[in-house]
Structure 1
Amino acid sequence: MHKDMMRSMHLPDPSRPIDHEAGRAAVRPLQGVQSVVWIDRSNLLVMVGGGQYRRMDIIDDIRLALEPLGDTLGVVVNLQDVMATTSEGADTLSRNCQLRAGQRAMLQPKRQVDVLDPEVRRVFRAQQERR
């Protein structure tokens, strides 16, 4: 019952953290992965080589690779295409391994990974279209 309550609150299991080096080693062999870096305790940055690998189902593949190592509710995957040719293609896809896009585990702050905030980009595009 305690475990179910923790899950319903989106609270990661503190007794099952994922070892960072083991996590990197588990994700590196996945198809398309160029580099894997932990940004902080819960944010994993995965750089892929091509837009075909910058998809939410790739985040699911990463989650499956990490699952045997611990509780993936404590991990947010940030996926970037290092081969992107447009600013939109270079945007980071971020998602908690077990939750929907935009959701975070309890006490897990949303981290800004992209250099340019999407709102700033939207305002810039609107200004350019008026010209």
Structure 2
Amino acid sequence: MDPLRTAGHLAGARLSALAGDRQGVQRSMDAMSEDLRRAMKLADASRPIDREAARAVARALPGTRSANWIDRHNLLVRVDGAHLRSQQTIDALCIGLEPLGDTLAVVMHVQHAAPATRDGMDTLSRNCQLVPGEHSMFQRARTVDVLDPEIRAQHRATVERVQNAPPAEQSAGDRAALEAMAEM
């Protein structure tokens, strides 16, 4: 929270109080309360996002195949191209939701609906108002991918190690078995 901004709100409230302006005091206190709520990353419960309206906004975005709520905070959007699985798509979706309520309560998850590569299977996720990896108060991190990204990374490393390994020497028994199978 910005101390100068807080001091400004307090000074404004005090000046309004001295002038007998109740509404001015209320405006200053509301602004200070809003700043505190934002600093705490607390979503505004009085401005919830209408889920069906949010789905309609997401489905209207070009390239969107489907949009569904996983729970009350997490919206999963499946798109028709790898280029659409991006932070720019998340930004466009979040900006589209802003008129509907407080987007601090929304985590957007974008998946490529038909990935051609294993890397394309990963879901890109972010809270609408925070940097990747941060969540608002009372939100827990949610994994949308079937495989945990750490397990997938481990698998990639194993596959690359096996592919780059020199071929193993064949034993006499292995060679005999391969020759027998070739004669069949």
TM range (shorter): over 0.9
Q: Does 1:78 align with 2:104?
A: no
Q: Alpha-carbon deviation of 1:74?
A: 0.1
Tell me the TM-score normalised to structure 1 length.
Answer: 0.97
Quick check: which has more Rg, 1 or 2? Answer: 2
In the alignment, residue 9 of structure 1 is paired with which amino acid? M
Aligned positions, number: 131
Q: Report the AA paired with residue 158 of structure 2.
A: Q
Distance 1:61 1:130 in 2: 39
State the shift of 1:130 in Å: 2.7
Letter in 1 for 2:64: V
| 1:11 to 2:12 alignment | no
Q: Is 1:42 aligned to 2:42, yes or no?
A: no
In 2, distance between residues paired with 1:100 and 1:53?
Answer: 19
Structure number with higher helix proportion: 2
Instruction: Tell me the amino acid that sits aligned with residue 50 of structure 2.
Output: D
Q: Which has the higher contact order (CA 8 A, sep 6+)?
A: 1
1:29 matched to which residue of 2?
60
How many Å apart are 1:126 and its aligned residue? 2.0
| Corresponding position of 2:139 | 108
Amino-acid identity (%)? 53
CA-CA distance at 1:127 after TM superposition: 2.0
1:26 Cα offset (Å): 1.5
Higher strand share: 1
Q: Where in structure 1 are there 5+ consecutive unaligned residues?
A: none
Distance in 2 of aligned mates of 1:87 and 1:127: 14
User: 3-state SS of the aligned residue for 1:4?
Assistant: helix
Relative to the length of structure 2, the TM-score reads 0.69
Instruction: For residue 23 of structure 1, report the CA deviation from its aligned partner.
Output: 0.7
Could you tell me how far apart the structure 1 residues matched to 2:108 and 2:79 are?
12
